[in-house]
């Protein structure tokens, strides 16, 4: 799998949104799920794998992508319950880990459904 080395901000061409799910209640006391902005940050992006599989009698294609970020407390606090938006496409976060040196960079492994 490709590794993304920590890069200077100028080498991270993608502006991505990190969002967290929040649940509120409407007037009928029904749960309403929405997404709240955590941060907008620059990232590098590498598509590392695409796959197809049959799920519930439907062919589903997924693209696995790794995003690289400079380390920050905000980005380090992102979990797989959150999501990432890049160029209008939503990515489900599968894993978050620090790169080779502590507090230098963060890698996020994500998947999105291919259309």
Residue 107 sits in a domain whose CATH number is 2.40.10.270
Residue 19 lies in domain: 9-113
Q: How far is CA 97 from the centre of its chain?
A: 12
2 domain-assigned: no
- Confidence (pLDDT) at 96: 94
> Residue 1's pLDDT band (boundaries 50, 70, 90)?
very low
Q: Is the separation of the CB atoms in 65 and 111 below 8 Å?
A: yes
Measured in degrees and rounded to the nearest 5, phi and psi for residue 45 equal -140, 135
Model pLDDT for residues 35-73, shown as the tens digit of each residue: 999 999 999 999 887 665 555 555 567 889 999 999 999
75 domain-assigned: yes
Q: Quote the mean pLDDT of the chain.
A: 84
Domain total of the chain: 1
* 102 or 19, which is more confident: 19
Q: How far apart are CA 34 and CA 31, in angstroms?
A: 10
- Confidence (pLDDT) at 73: 93
State whether the Cα torsion 96-101-104-105 is positive or negative: negative
Q: How far apart are CA 88 and CA 90, in angstroms?
A: 7
Model pLDDT for residues 74-102, shown as the tens digit of each residue: 999 999 999 999 999 999 999 999 987 77
55 domain-assigned: yes
């Amino acid at each position: 799998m490709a590794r993304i080395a920590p890069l200077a901000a100028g080498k991270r061409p993608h502006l991505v949104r990190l969002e967290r799910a929040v649940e509120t209640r409407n007037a009928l006391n029904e749960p309403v799920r929405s997404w709240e902005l955590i941060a907008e940050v620059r990232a590098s992006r590498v598509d590392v794998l695409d796959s197809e599989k049959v799920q519930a009698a439907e062919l589903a294609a997924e693209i696995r992508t790794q995003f690289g970020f400079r380390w920050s407390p905000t980005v380090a606090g992102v979990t797989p319950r959150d999501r990432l938006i890049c160029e209008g496409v939503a990515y489900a976060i599968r894993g978050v880990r620090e790169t080779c040196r502590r507090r230098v960079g963060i890698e996020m492994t994500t998947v999105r459904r291919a259309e």
